[in-house]
Chain A
Amino acid sequence: GAGVSQSPSNKVTEKGKDVELRCDPISGHTALYWYRQRLGQGLEFLIYFQGNSAPDKSGLPSDRFSAERTGESVSTLTIQRTQQEDSAVYLCASSLVRGLEGYTFGSGTRLTVV
């Protein structure tokens, strides 16, 4: 596609439920990243994919968070047993292997845990 697409754009869930967030990267972009942004804060790195492998998952805050990617395509971020502190905007970005200027972000999924 023309840009990075994320779905849903908004998600309200009850505490304790599982949620799945989806990211469709730009076609041909081999690298994919997930970030979390709390209200008024900067971006917090979660996980990085190169192809369908995850060489850096150091930012995942707990074992309730997991992510997978199918080939060099769609990625899903799953949060199990959601907590109120999980409320944030979850942003996905994709890029070619090289180049700091080539990161393209989606508009994010706003997750609210009530």
Chain B
Amino acid sequence: LAKTTQPISMDSYEGQEVNITCSHNNIATNDYITWYQQFPSQGPRFIIQGYKTKVTNEVASLFIPADRKSSTLSLPRVSLSDTAVYYCLVAPDTGRRALTFGSGTRLQVQP
């Protein structure tokens, strides 16, 4: 599985846009990039997934450059409730495997 590197922590203020970048230099051709979010005392939950270019849903956007060696999760106009740990995962989208979570990025949103 491709190794991922992301910042340990980030701070932001309410209303700002937050961008969290994940490096995955040895991503394979059949790997997808998936982001999960974990609130305190809860299990992680799926946010967004992409293969290349840009993906947007009601929660976030995911930007993936052409070489796919990195990806950026963008959270528009964060609120206090976006304070959480964000995990970047890279793996083939074929099931039959366990996800490998790193330490994630701890985002703290201040008022």
Contact = CB atoms under 8 A, between A and B. Distances in A.
A50 B96 contact: yes
A103 to B, nearest CB: 6
A42 interface: yes
- With most chain B CB atoms within 10 A of its CB, the pick from A50, A104, A105 is A105
A31 B42 CA distance: 20
A106 B34 CA distance: 19
Interface residues of A, number: 30
Question: In which size bucket is the chain B interface?
Answer: 20 to 34
Interface stretch (B13-21, B44-52, B76-84): B44-52
A99 to B, nearest CB: 6
Contacts of A63: none
Interface string B92-106: 011111111111100
B29 interface: no
Contact of A100 (B34, B44, B102, B103): B34
Contact of B95 (A42, A91, A98): A98
A41 B103 contact: yes
29 contacts: A31-B96, A33-B98, A33-B99, A35-B101, A41-B103, A42-B87, A42-B101, A42-B102, A43-B44, A43-B99, A45-B99, A45-B100, A45-B101, A48-B98, A50-B96, A91-B44, A97-B95, A98-B94, A100-B32, A100-B34, A100-B91, A100-B93, A101-B49, A103-B99, A105-B42, A105-B45, A108-B41, A108-B42, A108-B43
Interface of A: 4, 31, 33, 35, 41-43, 45, 48, 50, 55-56, 59, 91-93, 95-108
